[in-house]
Structure formats: C-alpha cells, structure tokens
Amino acid sequence: MKKVFLAVLALAMTSSVLTSCKEMEKKAEDAASATENAMDEAGDNLKEAGENLKEAGEDALDKAKEAGDEVKEAGEKAMDSIKKAGESIKKGAQEIGKDAKDAANKVAKEVEDATDDN
C-alpha cells in the first residue's frame, strides 16, 4: 500500500510539474510573440522616423536653396543699383568737367579779347 501511495504521490507531482512546464511553455511563447510584435513596431517606428528625418532634410535643403536664390537676387539688384549710381556720378562729373572747360575757355577768350583791345 505504501508503494501505491508513493506511486500516486509521484504521479501527482509529475502531473503538476508537467502542467507547470506547459504553462511556462505557453508563457514563453506569449513572451516571444510579444517581443516579436514589439520589434516589428519598433522597426516601423524607426522607418517612419527615418522618413520624417529625410523629409525634414529635404525641406531644409529647399529652404536653403530659396534663401540662396533670394540672396543672389538681392545681390544682383544691389550691383545694378551701384552700377546705375556709378554711371550717374560719371555723367555728372563729365557735365561738371564740360562746364568747367567751357568756363575756362570763356575766361581765356575774355582775357584774349581784353589784351587784344589794348
């Protein structure tokens, strides 16, 4: 009877350990599945972050190009203004020089006429 009792006790313990192992196997499978899902989600998030970063970089490059174009245009306008101002100054200087030459010639003519009369 003692042997039967020990056999039943051993069978109960084995059954309990077997049930426990099956539960652990199920928990391990669930954990593996959850880990796989988390890894997939993390991969998707990284992919999305990469796409967002790429888009932000492209936007920044476009803005930099626009700013460069605006600076170039402003520089060209400034050069045109400087060129026009230089031409205006040159024209004014030429007119002043012509007026001074005419005045000098007039004075020389008056001096010549005055000396011829004497």
Query: In the chain, where are the structural domains located?
Result: 1-84
pLDDT bin (cut points 50, 70, 90) of residue 30 is confident
Choose the weakest-confidence range: 14-18, 64-68, 88-92, 95-99: 14-18
Looking at residue 56, its pLDDT comes to 95
pTM check: above 0.75: no
C-alpha distances in Å from residue 17, one per residue of 7, 8, 12, 55, 57: 15, 14, 9, 56, 58
Question: Is the pLDDT reported for residue 31 higher than 80?
Answer: yes
Residue-wise pLDDT for 79-95, tens only, equals 999 999 999 999 999 99
